[in-house]
Amino acid sequence: MTTLAALVFPGFQTLDFFGPMEMLGDPAYGIEIVTVAQNRDLVPSRHGQRIAVDATLADTTDYDLLLIPGGDTALTAAKDPELLQWVRDVSAHADRVMAVCTGTILLGMTGLLDGRRATTNKLDFLETVPLAPKVNWVRQARWVEDGKFFTSSGVSAGIDMALAALASLYGHDKAAKTAYGCEYNWNTDADADPFAKLAGLV
């Protein structure tokens, strides 16, 4: 059984997390999703829905896949040394490490992306990328794949990135079938990013 650690922290961005859950949770892959948090309290999303926790950081770092959502509070979560170390420890063994929106900055602050290509959300790009200055931040990309690391642009881009990660593991056709099942027009071009221009980054 393939296991996915789906990290949450108070104020995580709702669609950053649940868009990828819909894709990665397609029963066609048989991935066991484990919601992981700093402690066992219910975790409120940015929009107030409270999520139950399956495991804490202390329980294990043994997962096959990792998803890190964003949200303004990802930068608060990134101040927790135990959380950053957990991300490093999980990533050392995981087959794929995925981060969405500001979650990519949190991932960058672990040092794991140093010298690698990555992207993040476009509206806060210039304010946030200095927090992980050794990353080769890509200004125009819906998502970026570099080795096992998949990072996406803002919020809804996490859906496209999650499908790309599934495609890398299970093949394009199977990922396209997942998108079809959700009646989702998958943006399959990683470089097609109209928001970079709208945000004045290119």
The site for a copy of itself (CB under 8 A) is made up of 6, 13-15, 17-19, 21-22, 25, 33, 35, 42, 45-52, 121-123, 153-157, 159, 180-185, 187, 194-195, 198
| Closest distance of CB 191 from a copy of itself, Å | 15
**163 near 190, Cβ under 8 Å?**
no
DSSP 3-state of 180 = helix
H-run or E-run covering 171? none
Rounded to whole angstroms, the Cα distance separating 126 from 93 reads: 31
* C-beta of 84 vs 160, nearer to a copy of itself: 160
| Closest distance of CB 115 from a copy of itself, Å | 26
- Chain position carrying tokens 């299970």: 170
Out of 78, 101, 141, 166, pick the active-site residue: 101
* C-beta of 96 vs 122, nearer to a copy of itself: 122
Nearest of 42, 44, 16, 20 to residue 31 by alpha carbon = 20
* C-beta of 91 vs 187, nearer to a copy of itself: 187
| Closest distance of CB 65 from a copy of itself, Å | 14
DSSP 3-state of 76 = helix
* C-beta of 112 vs 160, nearer to a copy of itself: 160
Give the end-to-end CA distance of the chain in Å, rounded to a whole number. Answer: 43
| Closest distance of CB 41 from a copy of itself, Å | 11
Q: Quote the distance between the C-alpha of residue 177 and its chain's center.
A: 21
Rounded to whole angstroms, the Cα distance separating 64 from 125 reads: 29
DSSP label of 48: S
**Annotation marks residue 101 as catalytic:** yes
- Active-site residues, by number, are 101
